[in-house]
Amino acid sequence: MRVKKIKEIEQRVCEVFEVTTDQLNGKRGKREISDARHVAWWLMVKLPGLPRELIARRYQTSQSAITQGIQKIDDLLSIKDPISDKTFKIVSKLS
């Protein structure tokens, strides 16, 4: 179930941010790619409540990197950054 939910979130993020799954799962990338990755992490924690440890293992990164990425999205959402529209578009597609 968890893997299915992760893949669904990744698919929706890739569609909205116009990135590939390889780019999303990569270690580096332009800001658009890292923003997409952080939104994916945010969605994985906020919607199905996946543990950060699971997400960190999938993306081969640390839990603190996951936490920082999620905090970045929380901050951007609080100031109505343009990323908000994309994030909420994905949320509506996942509901």
CA contacts within 13 A on the Cβ side of 50: 26
Could you tell me the two tokens for 69?
């990425």
- Write the pLDDT tens digit of every residue in 14-57: 999 999 999 999 888 799 999 999 999 999 999 988 999 999 99
Going by CATH, does the domain composed of 2-94 fall within 1.10.1750.10? yes
Q: Give dist(CA 65, CA 42) in Å, integer.
A: 12
Does 93 or 66 have the greater pLDDT score? 66
Give the predicted TM-score (pTM) of the model.
Answer: 0.92
Spatial contact of 74 and 68, defined as CB atoms under 8 Å apart: no
